[in-house]
Structure 1
């Protein structure tokens, strides 16, 4: 096939929330403080993303970010360590008692400029050249009767990845790309249908978005998969042959010219596999750096939507 096929396996921020409107008194639980009350007392707007578990505060124009389960807080371009990790109690964010002194008071006692990150020029990465991409298929994994992974508080993978896909579609469309979505709402689309949508299009790039789960509490980060080497059985897979026919039909090739089809298929596979690996490496590095997430690397696999 001629598509650079990738599968994003990651979770991005889905922000929700607003400035709090809770009682004036700060409510204490054993050695901890409800963040919503602390923010109200100090006239601070804040947000908590229940999906990514990221807490974001805006203190006098400086962005402060923390992660539930971590004691490290990013204040502008600086890392501050709290005495204990940020936690949740009954779906409410709590912080240790030194949060105010180490974060709020420290920020307001010093010039705001001291905590604003200094913008550095982006380093020029040397990657092999890629062909120009004009049309992109975005595949939000799962949907409908297939929830995918289910996380804390019943959060479902299908909802997370659809939100990410919609955001990505908006960004790419604004930048002049033509975008095709395999699904635009909560509906079940089979793997076969997802590959057929791509094969019938003129897409140069296929991105399948997933949010993995793991029993290990410390598992996190971003990983990108591209197509692994295919063996003879993979290349003769029924769905792959069907999708190739969709592609050849668009090229107005004669159906009986099987030799030409085989040669063209091999050429496209060899060329696009190399480009796919290059792009996977670039995406995982840039994405992990941008959201300050763990880089789990670019890998190869024979997932159905990749090999077909």
Structure 2
């Protein structure tokens, strides 16, 4: 049986995300009426696809993505038999669309499209009946990566006819050779030796098992000075790979990837080959490193200095890095060529007052380390400096704004009960919350209103997901971000208790708040899991709602349902600019999965806070 792989990215096999940084599949849906599969991840992904016969299946693998739940199978009637979602290996989720027996699809009509780095669609043509299922199928057509993955970059698709019969278990890529295999946990080191005539390089892999497609096979390579590669299983627990090379070829090294495969690279990197025989490879990047040190550097650690003003990247050898903003992702990307992450790599611990909000590090391909930095609110990134041959430093600068708190002179928070309380207080508490602080004079005050609470759970969605449990942590994170900017915040509830609608607006009006921001989650009922998305409401002036809405859709992967006018009680009865944000639908299959995720909640909170700050600055409150 022959499998046919489509390499959607030349580096797809080498996206070696750190285990702690693995993304998740947060949503998928197959529309049988349109033969369309839609899926969403919480981190960008570069899928690979293959078409398999007997029966015909379209298989999509998501490297670096985990399912986080048991396998799922959804059966259909008609020409599409089923869709299955499962964990292929520890770092790869697999989606399988199985065509009904006796039908097939034209692979040239299968359309795989990246709407964004985290949203993909797979459109199938109408399956056609065949007399018998073919033993082989032509490969799926190449599909480019979404343009938002790397702006202004040229996407290169590599296909290698020499390896079309290997099921993707052996691939020649622009950064070396890749072999898919299994390991049984044996951590003994890979050994290598070169023949006396220097024309054979042999690797012994203890604890490794080759796939059936590779056993006893020899394949032509004809790239990088390698004429062919041979695979043997010399024992039940040891595999052997032999490269046939020219006598002048440099030595090669073998490195295990985190996706259960093996990467084969020439020592000194592919810059050793200047004859242009690397498939689709760009001109080598010149780096100013002495000749005797032109080996891959090992990135050992990334640390914040004690003054929170510099991010330090240290290596065991000289390194050079380049930095650019990826505005589609909202992160600053630092690329370090000719480098690998250390097996004992460690990153910084990011506290609530760190200058960096989020840091992600991964081995983007066989010799490039990618570091993605997102500054915290109140900080901006400076220059990328070469502190020494083995140390890169990224400057971190604090923004001195009118809203930045002064830790020395900030007035104390005092608790003052309201004057002349009514005999029947409008706030019904369950249980009794702590007393509310009176805001300092002359300081912007934002009322954050997490809807519902206590005996009122709000909307109840998929899997019993309750609105009150989603919006409270989001509101608390918004409060924390605003307070870090020196903006005074009062919350209508700070834990799980009930507050009436009248009590919420009375609190804001008595305090003389500058803004009122109510946070909710939406519902369309159990019968409409197809409805998901963001909605923001206003009653009078809509500028606050517009600003927050723009901030969210710029940085959060959420469907846009617009800004609308509504006569909600809290909007009609608050005496300051007010808005009500529906962060998503707890009854929506797509939104519910996201809203359970603490990282997604943090993204939503960050976007709301940025919108509030932007409005305050625009209106000089």
- In the TM superposition, 1:104-119 aligns within 5 A as 105=259, 110-111=365-366, 113=368
2:560 aligns with 295
Contact 1:140/1:208, CA 8 A, preserved across alignment = yes
Q: 1:90 and 1:80 mapped to 2: Cα distance?
A: 19
Judge conservation of contact 1:72–1:79 (CA < 8 Å) in 2: no
1:162 maps onto 2:143 in alignment = no
SS in 2 for 1:147: coil
Q: 1:294 to 1:219 in 2, by over 3 A?
A: same
- After superposition, give the CA deviation of every residue in 1:53-82 in whole Å (9 maximum; x if it has no partner): xxxxx15xxxx3431436344654x55377
Q: Which of the pair has more CA radius of gyration?
A: 2
The 1:169/1:102 distance shift into structure 2, 3 A limit, reads: closer
- Secondary structure at the residue paired with 1:146? coil
Residues 178-197 of structure 1 mapped to structure 2, 5 A cutoff = 178-197=488-507
Q: State the distance in 2 between where 1:137 and 1:283 align.
A: 15
Preserved contact between residue 443 and residue 488 of structure 2 (Cα < 8 Å): no
Kindly indicate whether residue 96 of structure 2 is the aligned counterpart of residue 97 of structure 1: no
Asked if residue 44 in structure 1 is aligned to residue 44 in structure 2, the reply is no
Rounded to whole Å, the distance in 2 between the matches of 1:43 and 1:138 is: 36
- TM-superposed CA distance for 1:177, in Å, is 0.6
Match of 2:39 in 1: 71
Scaled by the length of structure 1, the TM-score of the pair is: 0.52
In the TM superposition, residue 219 of structure 1 has moved relative to its aligned partner by 1.9
The answer to whether the 8 Å contact 2:61/2:93 transfers is no
In structure 2, distance between residues paired with 1:219 and 1:116: 36
CA-to-partner distance for each residue in 1:225-259, whole Å, 9 max, x for gaps?
Answer: 011xxxxxxxxxxxxxxxxxxxxxxxxxxxxxxxx
Give the CA deviation at 1:156.
1.3
Q: Distance in 1 between matches of 2:91 and 2:71?
A: 22
Match status 1:217 vs 2:192: no
Provide TM-score, normalisation by structure 2.
0.27
8 Å contact 2:452–2:468 — kept in the other structure?
yes
On the 8 A contact 2:535/2:564 being kept in 1, the answer is: yes
Flag the structure with higher helix content: 1
1:202 equivalenced with 2:512 (yes/no): yes
Q: What SS does structure 2 have at the residue aligned with 1:192? A: helix
1:183-237, Cα deviation, whole Å (9 max, x unpaired)? 111111111111101110121110111011224222222211011xxxxxxxxxx
Q: Is the 8 A contact 1:141 1:208 kept in 2?
A: yes
Residue 599 of structure 2 corresponds to none
1:278 — aligned with what? Answer: 543
- Rate the CA distance shift 1:211–1:220 in 2: closer, same or farther, 3 A: same
Q: How does 1:76-91 map to 2 (within 5 A)?
A: 76=44, 78-80=45-47, 83=60, 86=67, 88-89=69-70
Corresponding residue to 2:463 among 153, 157, 177? 153
Counterpart position of 1:307: 572
Match in the other structure for 2:167: none
User: Alpha-carbon deviation of 1:139?
Assistant: 0.5
Partner SS state of residue 474, structure 2: helix
RMSD (Å) for aligned C-alpha atoms: 3.7
Q: Which runs of 5+ in 1 are unaligned?
A: 1-41, 46-57, 122-131, 228-272
8 A contact 2:363–2:370 mirrored in 1: no
1:255 is matched with none
Equivalents in 1 of 2:463, 2:516: separation in Å? 31
Cα distance between partner residues in 1 of 2:367 and 2:567? 50
Query: Is the 1:285–1:295 Cα contact (8 Å) retained in structure 2?
Result: no
What's the CA shift for 1:137? 0.3
The CA deviation at 1:175 is: 0.7
Q: Does 198-207 or 106-115 show the bigger shift? A: 106-115
Question: Secondary structure in 1 aligned to 2:522?
Answer: coil
Higher relative contact order (CA 8 A, sep 6+): 1
**How far did residue 99 of structure 1 move?**
8.1
Structure number with higher strand proportion: 2
Q: Aligned residue for 2:182?
A: none
- Secondary structure in 1 matching 2:538: strand
**Contact between 1:223 and 1:297, CA under 8 Å: does it hold in 2?**
yes
CA distance, structure 2, for counterparts of residue 110 and residue 301 of structure 1: 50
With over 3 angstroms needed to count, the CA separation of the structure-2 counterparts of 1:136 and 1:44, relative to structure 1, is same
Name the count of aligned residue pairs.
190
Distance between the aligned counterparts of 2:486 and 2:364, measured in 1? 45
- Work out whether residues 226 and 299 of structure 1, in 8 Å CA contact, stay in contact via their aligned partners in 2: yes
Distance 2:477 2:510 in 1: 24
Task: Name the counterpart of 2:482.
Answer: 172
Q: Give the whole-Å Cα distance in 2 for the aligned partners of 1:96 and 1:143.
A: 37
